[in-house]
Amino acid sequence: MTFEEFKQFISKVGNVPLDMIHEDASFRDDLNIDSLHMVNLLIELNNHIPFDFAVVQDAEVLQTVGSLYRAVKGVKANV
C-alpha cells in the first residue's frame, strides 16, 4: 500500500476529505477521528493489509497519519 493509497483509505473509512489528510495530520485534532472510530479504522485496515496489532499499541503511533502508516508498514524512516 503506497502512502497515497493509505490516504485514500483513511478518507473513505473515516469520512474525511482527502485534501485534509497529510503526513503530519493528527487523527484526533485535525481529522476529528475519535478513539472508537480509530479502532474501527484499525480493524478495517487490518482486513485490508494484515498487520500485528502490537505495532499500534503505543498511543504515539496513533497520533498522526504518517506515524500510523510507518508503523503498519514496519518502517522507521519518513515516508
CA distances from 74 to 12, 17, 53, 59 (A): 23, 26, 12, 16
CB 55 within 8 A of CB 72: yes
- Is 8 a binding residue for other proteins by CB under 8 A? The answer is no
Of 2-10, 25-33, 69-77, which segment contacts other proteins by CB under 8 A? 25-33
Select the span of 2-10, 36-44, 70-78 touching other proteins (CB under 8 A).
36-44
What's the residue count for the chain?
A: 79
Binding residues (CB under 8 A) for other proteins: these are 15-17, 28-29, 32-40, 43, 46, 52-54, 56-59, 62
